[in-house]
């Protein structure tokens, strides 16, 4: 049990470091909009603002994203992701364009998914991070993807909406299982070639 707890902690630390790298590069949104003369925008002229985030609100957004991935809803991502979105997963770093292409799930068959163990932490007035565990039954690129992962998402306030600014996943490791071969094309790797990118949402 101690080993399982340690592996879970390491996975969550990995996601935390990825979140930290995101903020180091992009920063946290300012709490108040500022006009050109440096003064805070008058409350009477400010645009409608989204309500403070809750765990339920952000998980509803996350579930809508997984549903879009499952149903291959390509239009969903145009309004869901921020312009400077960053993602990390099995295929490395993704910018907004690459993420939309991958998250559209054109190369995936998703039979089912479930999200659990949700935790939320607010990062100032205009940002929040949500972490949770995913359970998949899906095939991408002809390969079965890891059944369980730890995931993290960052949402930022954009007017009257909360938008996805960051997403990352890392597989849940079974301490009793032999080392996994994450890239079956071993001969290709030995020749210096990379694995084929999957279409999973990570």
- The confidence score (pLDDT) of residue 193 equals 40
The CATH number of domain 2-27+50-190, selected from 3.40.50.1980, 3.10.450.50, 3.40.605.10, 3.90.1310.10: 3.10.450.50
**Contact at 8 Å (CB) between 102 and 96?**
no
Dihedral sign (CA 178, 105, 153, 98)? positive
- The confidence score (pLDDT) of residue 92 equals 86
**Contact at 8 Å (CB) between 115 and 134?**
yes
Alpha carbon separation from 102 to 8, 23, 53, 57, 99 (Å, rounded): 26, 23, 27, 24, 5
Q: How many CA atoms lie within 13 A of 81 on its CB side?
A: 25
Alpha carbon separation from 197 to 72, 107, 141 (Å, rounded): 17, 10, 8
Alpha carbon separation from 60 to 25, 57, 141, 162 (Å, rounded): 27, 5, 27, 11
**Contact at 8 Å (CB) between 86 and 72?**
no
Q: How far apart are CA 121 and CA 8, in angstroms?
A: 18
DSSP assigned state of 144: E
Helix, strand, coil fractions of the chain, as percent rounded to 5: 30, 35, 35
- pLDDT, one tens digit per residue, over 140-172 is 989 998 899 999 999 999 999 999 999 999 998
- The confidence score (pLDDT) of residue 192 equals 45
Low-confidence ranges of the chain (pLDDT < 50): 1-14, 17-18, 21-25, 28-35, 38, 40-41, 43, 184-197
- The confidence score (pLDDT) of residue 119 equals 96
Q: What is the pTM of this model?
A: 0.68
């Amino acid at each position: 049990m101690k080993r399982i707890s340690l592996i879970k902690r390491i996975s969550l630390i990995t996601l935390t470091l990825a979140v930290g790298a995101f903020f180091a590069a992009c920063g946290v949104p300012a709490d108040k909009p500022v006009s050109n003369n440096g003064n805070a925008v008058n409350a009477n002229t400010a645009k409608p603002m989204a309500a403070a985030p809750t765990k339920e609100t952000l998980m509803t957004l996350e579930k809508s994203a997984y549903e879009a991935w499952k149903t291959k809803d390509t239009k969903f991502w145009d309004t869901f992701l921020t312009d400077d979105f960053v993602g990390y997963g099995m295929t490395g770093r993704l910018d907004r364009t690459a993420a939309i292409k991958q998250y559209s799930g054109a190369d995936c068959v998703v039979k089912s998914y479930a999200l659990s163990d949700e935790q939320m932490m607010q990062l100032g007035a205009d940002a929040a991070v949500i972490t949770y565990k995913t359970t998949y039954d899906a095939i991408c690129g002809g390969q079965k993807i890891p059944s369980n992962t730890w995931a993290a998402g960052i949402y930022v306030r954009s007017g009257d909406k909360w938008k996805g600014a960051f997403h990352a996943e890392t597989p849940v490791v079974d301490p009793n299982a032999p080392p996994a071969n994450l890239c079956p094309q071993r001969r290709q790797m030995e020749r210096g070639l990379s694995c084929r990118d999957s279409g999973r949402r990570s």
